[in-house]
């Protein structure tokens, strides 16, 4: 039977779900009120990574004399930077539109709201009102930048991540309120651009959900690059002086502190986007953490499902995409799959950070007896040739069967290396399984192999472990 599925939201959850449903023979309608690609493509992952590329080029230029390349200096043309960013976004958005068309998906530009248990009222961009009945409706409306209930957040110069991506001039100084992924990526980017950056974080450390040792090493590298980091600080207010300087007043363990800058980025996370959906009418339960769903992504209302940021949990584009595929596969009689224990996460700072599976602390809290192995990039041939010796690969394995349950990478190409690690965690591979796989030389991926082999003391390019002599011998 050809089933009718309507998806609200054309982001990485919604459009991927639409394509997968079409592949499985469903009749699909996709509704998007803004631009295809959602937050990730238009205001998040992709525009941010275009700026990351600018930062990498600046980093390379600043070190060029080490490689025998002499130049007379450079300037940053922010107009051209923004123009290139918009071109990248536009090209990718056009590509998604062509994919949607090629799969015969009915695409409607408009704002959807529930008008009945299986009915949507859609106000199109042409200001026409459409009513749409559907066998199944999937909510994929994503998230928006979280608002901070603080005095002064409405002041000129106080920005959220969307605002900062559209900025016309490079700030001379900037305070980043929030040391999570978004805050740290922007701190790293704008520090490379020449902005004096200070990060103010409420938790005892930045990126507090990531491996403690990796974050400590990253913090050291960022401070060395000029990023000031103040942790254990609760922001109380933001004020603006007559000279247009913005000041953040915060309190910490040792009393009050103030931080002044030209701009302030409020990067305190994201919140679910359910405004205007009229969920109460159809009985879809939700709270501030997200729409409530079961393991098949079904909400509390029959025939209505939800995926991606709007259900909370891992607010990552690739997770939304996998949830979209798993959701429609379940609706259409297949076994959709997603393993939240094997989700790769990447922070595009300089250097990069990536992780999958359990950290050392998490494994210990779960009572798992572990062996931890580390391999420094300074012993990796490819990293040395690139002049990117800073960093390491850290492997967490079960002590009994040597199964790899977590991998954490700091350094160049971490965002690429982590995917081999994700395969290992997903498929419960052991040191022996991975050790049998030949890795090309010279590559950064060899560092992963060496770290894995190090669990059993078999790493080739690392000194032997010091064997402890039993007491009394």
Distance, in Å, from the CA atom of 159 to the CA atom of 165, rounded to the nearest integer, reads 10
Distance, in Å, from the CA atom of 138 to the CA atom of 297, rounded to the nearest integer, reads 9
Q: What is the DSSP letter of 298?
A: B
Catalytic residue, from 94, 337, 427, 441: name it: 441
- CA diameter of the chain: 87
- Kind plus residue range of the DSSP H or E element containing 185: helix 181-192
**What are the phi and psi torsion angles at 375 (to 5°)?**
-135, 120
The three-class DSSP label of residue 110 is strand
> What number of residues does the chain have?
473
- Kind plus residue range of the DSSP H or E element containing 409: strand 404-410
The reply to whether omega before 279 is within 30° of 0 (cis) is no
- Are the beta carbons of 11 and 307 closer than 8 angstroms? no
Distance, in Å, from the CA atom of 114 to the CA atom of 461, rounded to the nearest integer, reads 61
3-state helix, strand, coil in the chain (%, to 5): 35, 25, 40
**What are the phi and psi torsion angles at 124 (to 5°)?**
-75, 170
**What are the phi and psi torsion angles at 388 (to 5°)?**
-120, 55
Q: At what angle are helices 181-192 and 45-62 packed, to 10 degrees?
A: 40
Instruction: Look at residues 253, 249, 289 and name the one whose alpha carbon lies nearest to residue 269.
Output: 289
CA neighbours closer than 13 Å in the CB half-sphere of residue 351: 27
Q: Is 337 a catalytic residue?
A: no
Instruction: Look at residues 235, 237, 238, 218 and name the one whose alpha carbon lies nearest to residue 227.
Output: 218
Provide the annotated active-site residues: 441
């Amino acid at each position: 039977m050809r089933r009718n599925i309507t998806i609200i939201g054309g982001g990485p959850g919604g459009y991927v779900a639409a394509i997968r449903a079409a592949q499985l023979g469903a009749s699909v309608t996709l509704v998007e009120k803004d631009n295809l690609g959602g937050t990730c493509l238009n205001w998040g992952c992709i525009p941010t990574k275009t700026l990351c590329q600018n930062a990498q080029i600046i980093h390379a230029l600043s070190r060029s004399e080490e490689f025998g390349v002499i130049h007379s200096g450079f300037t940053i043309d922010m107009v051209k930077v923004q123009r290139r960013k918009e071109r990248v976004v536009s090209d990718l958005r056009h590509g998604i539109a062509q994919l949607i068309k090629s799969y015969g998906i009915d695409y409607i530009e408009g704002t959807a709201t529930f008008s009945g248990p299986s009915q949507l009222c859609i106000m199109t961009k042409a200001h026409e009102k459409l009513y749409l009945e559907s066998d199944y409706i999937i909510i994929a409306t994503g998230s928006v930048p979280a608002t901070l209930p603080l005095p002064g957040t409405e002041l000129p110069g106080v920005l959220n991540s969307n605002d900062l991506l559209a900025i016309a001039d490079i700030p001379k100084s900037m305070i980043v309120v929030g040391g999570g992924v978004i805050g740290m990526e922007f701190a790293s980017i704008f520090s490379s651009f020449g902005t004096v950056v200070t990060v103010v974080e409420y938790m005892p450390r930045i990126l507090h959900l990531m491996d403690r040792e990796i974050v400590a090493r990253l913090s050291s590298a960022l401070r060395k690059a000029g990023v000031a980091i103040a942790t254990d600080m609760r922001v109380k207010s933001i004020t603006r002086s007559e000279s247009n300087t913005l000041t953040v007043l915060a309190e910490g363990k040792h009393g009050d502190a103030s931080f002044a800058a030209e701009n302030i980025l409020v990067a305190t996370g994201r919140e679910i986007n359910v405004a205007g959906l009229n969920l109460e009418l159809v009985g879809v339960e939700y709270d501030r953490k997200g729409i409530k769903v079961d393991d098949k992504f079904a909400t509390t209302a029959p025939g209505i499902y939800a995926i991606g940021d709007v259900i909370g949990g891992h607010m990552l584009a690739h997770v939304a995409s996998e949830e979209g595929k798993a959701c429609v596969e379940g609706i259409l009689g297949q076994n959709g799959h997603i393993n939240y224990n094997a989700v790769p996460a990447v922070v595009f700072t300089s250097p990069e950070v990536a992780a999958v599976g359990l950290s050392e602390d998490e494994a210990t809290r779960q009572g798992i007896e572990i062996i931890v192995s580390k391999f420094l990039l300074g012993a990796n041939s490819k990293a040395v040739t690139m002049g990117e010796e800073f960093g390491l690969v850290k492997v967490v394995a079960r002590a009994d069967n040597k199964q790899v349950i977590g991998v954490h990478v700091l350094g160049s190409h971490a965002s690429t290396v982590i995917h081999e690690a994700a395969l290992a965690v997903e498929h419960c591979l052991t040191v022996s399984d991975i050790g049998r796989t030949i890795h090309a030389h010279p590559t950064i991926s060899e560092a992963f192999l060496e770290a894995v082999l190090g669990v059993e003391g078999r790493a080739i390019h690392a000194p032997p472990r010091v064997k402890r002599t039993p007491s009394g011998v």
